[in-house]
Structure 1
Amino acid sequence: MVKALIEEYGSGLERVREAIRALSEEEMHYKSGPNKWSIHEIIVHLADAELVGVHRMKRVLAENNPMLTAYDQDAWATSLGYSDQDAEYSLKLFGLMREMMLPVLQKVEGADWQRCGIHEEAGPLTLVQLLERYVNHVSDHLEQIQRVRAAYREQTVR
């Protein structure tokens, strides 16, 4: 199970790039509602979330029961101006962080997968649970990208 999670984690960038291949700038910046994110903003969010995820996983591996802080992703998107950030730089950063973390994860053995951090909202999380969360995080946002694309197509047909 862990080996499959690691492989899926390693394919994250490729999966995201495939989902946005050939999208126009208009499609990338389209928002389906006032409090909805554009695909562009989703991409920037993935890089920021990966920064947090790598930090959390490394802390769990290196420290005993570290505290893992939460963050307000909507506040980050608004306050950090996700719509004005460079999506390509964000994709590159996302990919580099995954490339950097992949060999670390591939060397984890046995009981170290059960090393734990204490998330201030979710409570205790093991390394394998964190890895699973960050694999699922990309999958969830790929589904969100598909919904935004569908809303864009529906809006342009009218």
Structure 2
Amino acid sequence: MDAVATELLQLVHAFADHLREVSEHDFTHKPLPTKWSKKEILGHLCDSAHNNLRRFICAQYENIPPNIVYDQDQWVALQGYQQVPQEELILLWKLLNDRIAHVISTMPPTRYALTCNTGRNTPALHTLEWLASDYIRHLKHHLNQIFPGAL
């Protein structure tokens, strides 16, 4: 998990600076009415961080695997990310990921195999180790949407 935490911090700290260079116009532009803007994609990454941080914590102490699902469209819509100041959103994203990196880097190895249910209608049990690796994959996917070809 140390390697995942290190990679997470490197990605977030490098891309936080790049995000600050994006003009407000480019950050809020929606390619289609039903598609997210770059700002909403970053908001989605904040929501993903919230939900995954909860998974990494709750799975370590709950007696049964916690059921923590995430309805991304509802979260993005209800958070109203298009109206959030750019710097505030970047800072939130950075701080949430700093917390995740801390939690997973200090997690005892005996807890890596603990599970969390992420399934909405059917069970989808994943180990914390898998969730951490998948979190990095997911992060890279969306950073490539914001900065095509960056990763």
Partner residue in 2 for 1:50: 49
1:29 to partner: Cα distance: 1.2
CA deviation vs aligned residue, 1:11-57 (integer Å, no higher than 9, x gap): 23224324424221111111212211111111222212211110111
Mapping for residues 1-158 of structure 1, pairs under 5 Å = 2-121=1-120, 123-147=124-148
Contact 2:56–2:104 under 8 Å retained in 1: no
The one-letter amino acid of 2:106's match is: K
1:141 to partner: Cα distance: 0.7
Larger Rg over CA atoms: 1
Q: Work out the CA distance in 1 between the residues paired with 2:85 and 2:20.
A: 16
* 83-92 or 136-145, which deviates more: 83-92
Contact 2:114–2:128 under 8 Å retained in 1: yes
Q: CA RMSD, aligned part only?
A: 2.0
Structure 1 residue runs of 5 or longer lacking an equivalent are 148-158
1:59 to partner: Cα distance: 0.7
State the aligned residue count. 146
Contact 1:43–1:87 under 8 Å retained in 2: no
From the two aligned structures, give the one with the greater helix fraction.
1
Secondary structure of 1:125's match?
Answer: strand
**What is the TM-score of this pair, normalised by structure 1?**
0.80
**What is the TM-score of this pair, normalised by structure 2?**
0.83
The one-letter amino acid of 2:53's match is: V
Q: Work out the CA distance in 2 between the residues paired with 1:63 and 1:11.
A: 31
